[in-house]
Structure 1
């Protein structure tokens, strides 16, 4: 299936490693021009170089997405290099888990700011460019945690807020032929997850509660993102695609 992504310019936030890096790699493999956006400059450049080594077109831009000036630099650098912005994937996020009674204000602010303020600033910055061209795709990475997870009041609230933001922007920006959608991953097997002290126990419990009995792969999320960013999804907006193997709130 031709996704029509050749030469599209794609910004993926938080893409130096993990799910974001895999999303960026799949876009590059489809012929898109990719901007690796991350607060870790060294890791971002390494990821961009890996894509270039494979024949892709990619640049790295160090970005703190909770700062408007840093986001403005990201957009300026992208436009200077590639001349357009077709797709924004708001992937960046942080996790600072604890029970609410032990959760610090700093932990709350860090998670909510990266997920919500970062998405707000990045989306606001690219929207005039997309609106002028009357074309664009925004894909926000939420989580099945939007249903509410114990020990993740900050993360669950932020991801639920992201879904509300997605619906709002789908309605605001549709007249410009801009679609705005969410992908809500389930439990994804990443290097960070495999390094958890109780990984095997967590894995077994997750599989037991998942209708398709395996952990998710980073590629599962990337595949959904690329579809929503493609010409094949031009009349899909305001949606939340749960990529969870059928596992929702339990």
Structure 2
């Protein structure tokens, strides 16, 4: 079933791992794909493989953390395929460090790639999609947005992805543009290089790809502002940050009043200890 026939999509960081699985699956369902990666050999290889299988694909080499290259990526799709229907903000980097040993250089790289990259690509895509009257943006988030140990920068970056998903969904719905996020669990190079990750080689990237193809397709019409957690065998919806009941109101709050509230009426609303929340 060719769910994406006639559509042109950009997939960032698609030279390997999840991104390459997304690109191959989208192409197999009829999409013309721009394969982006900072590694030229990987980008050319994936694009060439898609073409060899009868699909349509071109490669783009560049960093999404550079606003000019991000804009050029979107322009390449329009130039090559005459349109832009979807963007998948997949490119990302990760590392682990104890808070007292964290490295400012690596923190900055994570923020630039994982936060500014989607922002640069998404805003460039939104201009095109708004002019053509609709389209889709899919952001790749992570369950780490609720707090992953030894990964403060990465967790913060994925929290930002969740927030930009909600913000864009609110802004772009009136223009026919759907914006959603996926929070995948998959055995990728990033996972293999992280000794703290549970060894799950059966959860391959290709098992996650159908969810992204669904979100890019017209089957997901009406779905926007959602974060979908997916492992290939488990699918669920993640809650966005929201106010919890009860909401207590007083004309003035003393320190003692706050202490009593958090030990009383608000106690059941408190989140469980962070070590038990993240999976």
Give the TM-score of the pair, scaled to structure 2.
0.80
- Tell me the alpha carbon deviations over residues 11-41 of structure 1, each in whole angstroms, 9 at most, x when there is no partner: 0000011110000000000010000011111
- The equivalent residue for 1:211 is none
Query: Is the partner of 1:202 in helix, strand or coil?
Result: coil
Verify the 8 A CA contact 2:74 2:125 in the aligned structure 1. Answer: yes
- Tell me the alpha carbon deviations over residues 158-214 of structure 1, each in whole angstroms, 9 at most, x when there is no partner: 00110000000000000011000000012x1125544x4859x832xxx7xxxxxx8
- The equivalent residue for 1:230 is 217
Alignment of 1:194-205 (within 5 A): 194=192, 196=193, 202-203=198-199
* Cα distance in structure 1, aligned partners of 2:136 and 2:208: 16
**Change beyond 3 A, Cα 1:80–1:197:** closer
Aligned Cα RMSD in Å? Answer: 2.0
- The equivalent residue for 1:189 is 187
| Runs of 4+ off more than 3 Å | 191-194, 196-199, 244-248
Q: Offset at 1:7?
A: 1.9
Query: Is the partner of 2:138 in helix, strand or coil?
Result: strand
Indicate the structure (1 or 2) with the bigger Cα radius of gyration. Answer: 2
Deviates more, 1:11-20 or 1:126-135: 126-135
**Change beyond 3 A, Cα 1:131–1:246:** closer
- The equivalent residue for 2:107 is 108
Verify the 8 A CA contact 2:94 2:190 in the aligned structure 1. Answer: no
Verify the 8 A CA contact 1:3 1:230 in the aligned structure 2. Answer: no
* Cα distance in structure 1, aligned partners of 2:67 and 2:189: 31
- Residues paired across the two proteins, number: 237
* Cα distance in structure 2, aligned partners of 1:197 and 1:109: 20
Verify the 8 A CA contact 2:140 2:183 in the aligned structure 1. Answer: yes
* Cα distance in structure 1, aligned partners of 2:194 and 2:188: 14
Q: Offset at 1:76?
A: 2.2
Q: Greater relative contact order: 1 or 2 (C-alpha under 8 angstroms, separation 6 or more)?
A: 1
Structure 1 residue 43 and structure 2 residue 31: aligned?
A: no
